């Protein structure tokens, strides 16, 4: 179990998470989960299951969301997230997040929230038109609370989440200025030293902020049917990679190494020298076929996924174990978030009584 001694309390704090939409795929892994696995030993890491956010578009399917929420934990564990080193928790078990959302909503101009390009994108891609719920744009405000409730300094995310982190930075600055007396001239890095409650967090976007799907065009995503999942076996992976369209006809035709196939080469073949050799020969049309490269990529992906599939199998049918991990994670998350909430309420003149929160 992570210790709550002074030494661990000084590890820089990291918060990130996922909306439960089913299984995680390789896009999640290279975009953010891989980074989390790296960070968990040296940072105090909190990983959130944004189950309330799933209600923005699926409020009529609560059982499905509940199942997806537990399923993600299996994928986290499979991908190497270690519940002994970090905390995995459920958003709706942390009341401070909901309370801070309400308060932060007062600090954000409505039009500022609606200007968020990620929200606009989602409205388009998901075909929400004018029919989206009030809660849909509110989730962006909620996400600022997810992060600030932990007073996190770093948020490992894929590129598409950067607008949300930008909004979070604005809320942190504004709160610190309005309620903690921090000057509007202060540098972001100085906010806490100047009495601000919230560090101004930064987005930690890895080298692959967006992984293309096996359709070779769109971002990898479950709903577009272009994803490779942790549970896929070699045969399935071969088939999916085999379908990648490059447009190249012969082994001697110079190829474009900025195509989707080469994004996969760079993302999944671990041997740098081999990657460079493939790039050189492909660009030169040096007798190397797409088919051969696809086989090599599929095998590299299979080698990455094999230990994940094995770890995942250990938690199959073990909801009891998953819930135990989540209860421990929620308990640690609440310890931090209740403290933040209390500080925020004090600063905003909203602290009348103190309270204690405990699961039964």
Interface residues toward ligand TRP, by CB under 6 A? 15-19, 48, 50, 53, 143, 146-147, 155, 157, 161
Q: 18 pairs with which residues across the strands?
A: 49
**CB of residue 19 vs ligand TRP: minimum separation in angstroms?**
4
Structure tokens at 236: 């399935």
**CB of residue 265 vs ligand TRP: minimum separation in angstroms?**
26
Closer CB to ligand TRP, residue 83 or residue 142? 142
- Between CA 52 and CA 136 the distance in angstroms is 10
> What is the edge-to-edge ordering of all strands in the sheet holding 154-156?
87-90, 44-49, 13-18, 154-156, 202-204
Q: Please, what is the angle between helix 290-313 and helix 260-268, to 10°?
A: 50
Closer CB to ligand TRP, residue 18 or residue 290? 18
Closer CB to ligand TRP, residue 28 or residue 240? 28
**CB of residue 118 vs ligand TRP: minimum separation in angstroms?**
8
Structure tokens at 281: 């020969």
Closer CB to ligand TRP, residue 40 or residue 143? 143
How buried is residue 299: exposed, middle or buried, by Cβ count under 10 Å (0-12/13-18/19+)? middle
**26: Cα within 13 Å, side-chain hemisphere:** 28
**CB of residue 145 vs ligand TRP: minimum separation in angstroms?**
9
**CB of residue 172 vs ligand TRP: minimum separation in angstroms?**
13
H or E element that contains 173: helix 162-180
Closer CB to ligand TRP, residue 200 or residue 297? 200
Closer CB to ligand TRP, residue 23 or residue 143? 143
**CB of residue 352 vs ligand TRP: minimum separation in angstroms?**
29
Q: Please, what is the angle between helix 319-347 and helix 162-180, to 10°?
A: 40
């Amino acid at each position: 179990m992570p210790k709550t001694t002074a030494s661990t309390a000084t590890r820089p704090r990291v918060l990130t998470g996922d909306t439960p939409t089913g299984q995680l795929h390789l896009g999640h892994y290279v975009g953010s989960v891989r980074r989390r696995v790296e960070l968990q030993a040296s940072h105090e890491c909190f990983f959130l299951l944004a189950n309330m956010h799933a209600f923005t578009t699926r409020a009529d399917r609560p059982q499905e969301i509940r199942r997806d929420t537990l399923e993600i934990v299996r994928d986290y564990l499979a991908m190497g997230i270690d519940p002994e080193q970090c905390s995995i928790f459920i958003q709706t078990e942390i009341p401070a997040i909901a309370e801070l959302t309400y308060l932060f909503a007062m600090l954000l101009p409505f039009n500022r929230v609606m200007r968020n390009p990620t929200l606009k994108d989602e409205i388009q891609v998901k075909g929400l038109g004018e029919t989206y719920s009030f809660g849909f744009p509110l989730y962006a405000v909620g996400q600022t609370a997810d992060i600030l409730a932990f007073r996190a300094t770093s948020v490992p995310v894929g590129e598409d989440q950067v607008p949300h982190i930008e909004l979070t930075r604005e809320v942190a600055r504004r709160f610190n200025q309005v309620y903690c007396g921090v000057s509007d001239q202060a540098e972001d890095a100085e906010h806490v030293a100047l009495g601000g409650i919230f560090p101004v967090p930064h987005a930690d976007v890895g080298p692959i902020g967006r992984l293309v799907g096996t359709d070779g065009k769109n971002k990898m995503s479950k709903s577009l049917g272009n994803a490779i999942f942790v549970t896929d076996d070699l045969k399935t992976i071969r088939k999916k990679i085999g379908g990648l369209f490059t447009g190249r006809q012969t082994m001697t035709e110079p190829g474009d190494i900025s195509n989707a196939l080469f994004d996969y080469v760079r993302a999944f073949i671990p041997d740098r020298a081999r990657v460079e050799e493939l790039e050189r020969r492909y660009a030169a049309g040096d007798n190397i076929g797409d088919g051969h490269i696809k086989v090599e990529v599929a095998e590299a992906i299979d080698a990455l996924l094999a230990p994940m599939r094995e770890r995942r199998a250990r938690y199959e049918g073990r909801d009891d174990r998953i819930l135990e991990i989540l209860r421990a994670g929620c308990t640690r998350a609440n310890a931090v978030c209740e403290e933040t909430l209390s500080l925020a309420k004090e600063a905003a003149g909203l602290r009348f009584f103190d309270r204690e929160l405990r699961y039964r």
